[in-house]
Structure 1
Amino acid sequence: MVGMLTHRILVTGASGFVGTALLQLLEREHAGCKVFELGQGEGRRNPIDLRDRETIDDAIREIQPTALVHLAAVAAPSDARNAPRHAWDVNVTGTMNLAESVMRHAPEARFVYVGSSEAYGASFQDAAGPLTENAPLRPVNVYGATKAAADLMIGQMSYDGLRAIRFRPFNHTGPGQSDTYVVSDFARQVAEIMSGKRDPVIHVGNLEAERDFLDVRDVVRAYATAAVQDLETGPDCVYNIASGRPRRIRDILDALIAQSGMAIDVREDPAKLRPNEIPAAYGDASRARERLNWVPLVPFEQTLADVLGYWRRMSSLR
């Protein structure tokens, strides 16, 4: 049994939205862990390019992690669509570089791969209910394809001895998320209207789509559990992180507008409509509940209030 003080957790993408939430959780609830970021210097962050195999090798050899949580990625679907080759290089080749290095230099480390529900893609169209982890990976966009490819690769490498745990999180949001994502985009616009910096009009894409939304603080609990607890690893250790409940985008916007207490006009913006939009996507997280004792705890209304509060603070600083 590994003692609390011997956990050495390496987090890639630690300075991003999800990485920041994970580091806060580890600091708060797992204070005995030693947490590293790839390329971290003394008192400063200096991220390594995931495509640089030699530097990654040096880092893994030096840090000797007991667990690696791989969050770094080209994470916005629009960024992946605009630069597909870069997305494949980072999301697939970068992941391979990390996994190979862990197998060489820290073979006992758990490799916690954070994939995406976007990997399921067209499987949502045929689903009669929430998808389980057994659903085929049928991505419809570049981002989903890169995450599916890396997911399959890590699954295959686990047959060769990589101690892998794979996650497929569904949509998650929270304070601090970039406004390239829908909830944050709406909340920013509402906050600017509340502060008088914008006319009471919100520009939107497709409001009829339904998605499974979570709070980032719930999502990172699953990653922390995988990094800290001595869980089973291997090809079958793949977990949806989902609420199991589809929420209509229109209802989320209505809830944010209701929290603002203002009359706001909603207008469709063709530039915000996404290609290959899946009408409804939600997941079954029973396996995570049974094996990891994970369930979402933060009420969605609280999540929305916290995201709106964040953007109101941002708006007041501008």
Structure 2
Amino acid sequence: MRVFITGITGPVGSFLADHLLTIPGLELHVFKRWRSDPRPIEHLIGRVTIHEGDLEDAFAVDTAVRTAAPHRVFHLAAQSYPSASWQAPVLTMRANVEGTLNLLEALRRHAPHARIHLAGTSAQYGTVHPDSVPIREDHPMRPGSPYGVSKVAMELSGLQYHDNFGMHVLVTRSFNHVGPRQGDRCSIQTFCRQMAEIEAGRQPPILHVGNLEPRRDFTHTRDVARALWLLLEHGNPGEVYNLCSGRATRIGDIVDLVVARGRVPVEVRQDPARLRPSDEPILQGDNSKLCAATGWQPTISMEEIVEEVLDYWRAQLSCR
């Protein structure tokens, strides 16, 4: 079986590759944007076939898909930062919508029977009233950023290819994913990196935080990787699935975990620059549809996530 992954250097891509490489008889092809940081996939060199290009380059995408001739496709590549989408809304639409269409067209030509996963986001829901939590897949979508809008368009485009061309397309709406090999824009990454910086003497013993009251749904990237494989094998084409832990953790409680696992005492101080104009009080997904289709359950606790991410940043700083 040949599998094709886009977004291989992103927060989920390399963990998905790690998981897939444990499956006997699987040949793995990955699509890497030519300018992406290769460090998250250094351990994959020689074990996977790497195709370089840009999703907005239809010729590069077509060539990669034709060469790989995949049976399974995981489309993870995206401009995935809501804040950046306000600064570059057109580029976000090009990457997330035009890029997806380039991929779908290439698959329609060269691998029309492949099973295809498209990665959406909980940002497609927009602001959700606490009475509607946990959020189900049938909740109305009203995205609050160009990023969220682009993912709605991506999802509808993919479902159109299922409806009109009979292609095996399914979509996940992913909530927060967290693990090593990830940048520091996620709140947990920010807290753990600061703690590692403080321990290394590179930052005063002050942990800067924003609003500590919101509750968010986090899933470890290794649990996400398992879920994606199970879903593409057992999920129904033309369907949408929330990919989430089904639990919401208060941000302040995560800070407490980081502080408790730190090697030096710190002061937790709210930084006005880290406060947003508005913060949804709770974002928590309902994963019952995914679990029913696959038998999947998340296995990695928040305590384990914090410990692993904190050790990751300690190791990163020791290499500098």
Q: TM-score, normalised by structure 2?
A: 0.90
Post-superposition shift, 1:56? 1.5
CA distance in 1, matches of 2:245, 2:80: 21
The 5-angstrom pairing of residues 291-302 of structure 1 reads 291-302=293-304
- Using the aligned pairs only, state the percent identity: 38
Partner of 1:234: 237
Matched with 1:107 is: 112
Secondary structure (helix, strand or coil) at the match of 1:25 reads helix
CA distance in 2, matches of 1:117, 1:24: 25
For residues 280 and 39 of structure 1, the distance between their equivalents in structure 2, rounded to whole angstroms, comes to: 34
Kindly report which structure 2 residues correspond to 1:37-76, keeping only aligned pairs within 5 A, or say none.
37-38=30-31, 45=50, 47-76=52-81
1:240–1:284 contact (8 Å) kept in structure 2: yes
Is the contact made by 1:51 and 1:94 (CA closer than 8 Å) also made in structure 2?
Answer: yes
> Does residue 8 of structure 2 align to residue 8 of structure 1?
no
Q: 2:160 aligns with which of 156, 160, 169?
A: 156
Query: Structure 2, unaligned stretches of length 5 or more?
Result: 35-44
Q: Deviations over 1:157-204 (max 9, x none)?
A: 211122111111110111121011111011000111122221110122
Shift of 1:84: 1.4
Residues 6, 32 of structure 2: 8 Å contact kept: no
**Equivalent position to 1:196, from 201, 211, 233:** 201
Instruction: Check if 1:224 corresponds to 2:226.
Output: no
1:36, distance to aligned residue in structure 2 (A) = 0.3
CA 147–189 in structure 1, closer or farther in 2 if over 3 Å, else same: same
Give, in angstroms, the shift of residue 46 of structure 1. Answer: 5.1
Gaps of 5+ in 1: 1-6
Note if contact 1:110-1:233 (Cα within 8 Å) is conserved in structure 2: no
SS in 2 for 1:47: strand
SS for the counterpart of 2:280 is coil
> 1:125: Cα distance to partner?
2.0
Q: Deviations over 1:74-98 (max 9, x none)?
A: 1122222221111110011101111
Whether the 8 Å contact between 1:141 and 1:276 is mirrored in structure 2 is no
CA gap of 1:126–1:55, structure 2 versus 1, over 3 A, is same
Structure 1 residue 317 displacement after superposition: 2.1
Could you say what the CA RMSD is over the residues aligned between the two structures, in angstroms? 2.0
8 Å contact from structure 1 (residues 121, 278) kept in 2 = no
Asked if the contact 1:99–1:162 (Cα under 8 Å) also holds between the matched residues in 2, the reply is no
Give 2:38's aligned residue. Answer: none
Q: 2:126, 2:24 → 1: CA distance?
A: 38
Q: Does 1:136 align with 2:136?
A: no
Whether the 8 Å contact between 1:117 and 1:169 is mirrored in structure 2 is yes
Q: 1:186 corresponds to which letter in structure 2?
A: F
1:31 deviation in Å? 3.5
How far does the alpha carbon of each residue in 1:248-287 deviate from its partner, in whole angstroms, 9 at most, with x for none?
1111111111111533212222332234432210001011
Determine the C-alpha separation between the residues in 2 that align with 1:291 and 1:47.
34
Over residues 272-304 of structure 1, what are the superposed CA-to-partner deviations in whole Å (9 max), with x where a residue is unaligned? 223443221000101111111111011221111
Q: In the alignment, does 2:188 pair up with 1:183? A: yes
Alpha-carbon distance in structure 1 between the residues aligned to 2:33 and 2:88: 27
